[in-house]
Amino acid sequence: MKKTILYLVTILLIFSCRKEDSETYDGPNLNDLFGEFSIIQDITVNSNMVNFQVDSKIYFSGELSKNTSWVINLRGQTTGANRKIAGTDRIISIDNATWDGGANTFPGFGLETVFVEISFPSEDNSVILYDTIQVTGSKIDDGILITSFENGVGTKWSNFNQTTVAGGITCGDGNAAKGNCYYGFNGTVGWDWAIGSVMIQDDNNDFGLPANASNLYFNMAFKPIENIGAQNTFIQFWFDEDENGDGVFDPATEDRFIYEYWYQDTGWSLISYKYADIQFDVDGNQVATNGNGLPEPGKLFSINVFYLANKANGNAKAYIDHLIFTTNKPYTP
């Protein structure tokens, strides 16, 4: 028994020899249906301290008296990040109970204490087990990071804020989707939907993206906070391509793809779509651009993230974070 695991309720093992009997049955496992629930081998994690940069994953193991549902909830003390691992197998092992350091959704885990809670929702009055895990290294992102706003404003970035709007990077207040920092907009603009924007460009004019747009996903974390609700708030992404490679984007002759993402929910959400799809509008029609009309990620020059909200609704507030490209599938926080 790990010392860090506390039993809230003590369960007595009343029938101890049902397991062997039931395993000879064909069909429904009578032990699963009627057998007493108990923990035969303590549920432990293979390491209470993990650097996901070195160890790709950790795992839980243990043995129950019967097949029944179990839930391992992981929650970051600082970030509030959450990951749920669930199963119904009697044996809990590396095959069904691993954690790669990721969260179910944004926010992601940071370098922090993670609270572990293991419960058995189908078993009345069953124990809840507690443990902690110390994360000393975050998981390595599988993708090409554009920015997570952790290193300040880039030398070639530009931004726009209405006169009444505060817009910029904030660090260290625990509100980031990933890491320590994020970009926020906050202000009342009674005369216009436009709130503010940030144009992100690589220091060397090269994001290092592959040429193939058809399996490349653009991802960003977005959190609308005030002036929310359907049809009230949205993000416009401008993807500008330097098609002739002269180190300048010319809006008159080169592609600017504008993609809109409308409000869906409060809290951090993951915006994710294929780069190839930015050439189509919501109805699937080809959009008009001034270049060759082909999404070419290898020529991507800058990304403008433009926040807009209904001018009739008073103050508007939203956060963005973690712009990252991934291959073959959307980003997983």
Residues in contact with Ca ion by the rule CB under 5 A: 148-149, 176, 178-179, 181, 241-242, 244, 246, 248, 250, 255, 291-292, 294, 296, 321
Contact at 8 Å (CB) between 302 and 199? Answer: yes
CB of 286 to Ca ion, least distance (A): 12
Question: Taking Cα atoms as reference points, which of 149, 150, 81, 147 lies closest to residue 114?
Answer: 81
CB of 248 to Ca ion, least distance (A): 5
CB of 77 to Ca ion, least distance (A): 18
Exposure b/e, 233-262, CB count within 10 A at least 16 = b: bbbebbbbbbbeeeeebeeeebbbbebebe
Cβ-closest residue to Ca ion? 148
Peptide bond into 210 cis (omega under 30): no
Angle 54-107-271 from CA coordinates, rounded to 5°: 110
CB of 307 to Ca ion, least distance (A): 17
Give the nearer residue to Ca ion in terms of CB position, either 143 or 291.
291
What's 280's DSSP letter? B
CB of 251 to Ca ion, least distance (A): 10
Helix (H) or strand (E) holding 114: strand 113-119
Give the nearer residue to Ca ion in terms of CB position, either 70 or 237.
237
Question: Taking Cα atoms as reference points, which of 196, 200, 296 lies closest to residue 256?
Answer: 296
Give the nearer residue to Ca ion in terms of CB position, either 112 or 241.
241
Placement of tokens 């926040």 in the chain? 307
CB of 269 to Ca ion, least distance (A): 15
Give the nearer residue to Ca ion in terms of CB position, either 71 or 153.
153
Give the nearer residue to Ca ion in terms of CB position, either 21 or 246.
246
Give the nearer residue to Ca ion in terms of CB position, either 202 or 321.
321
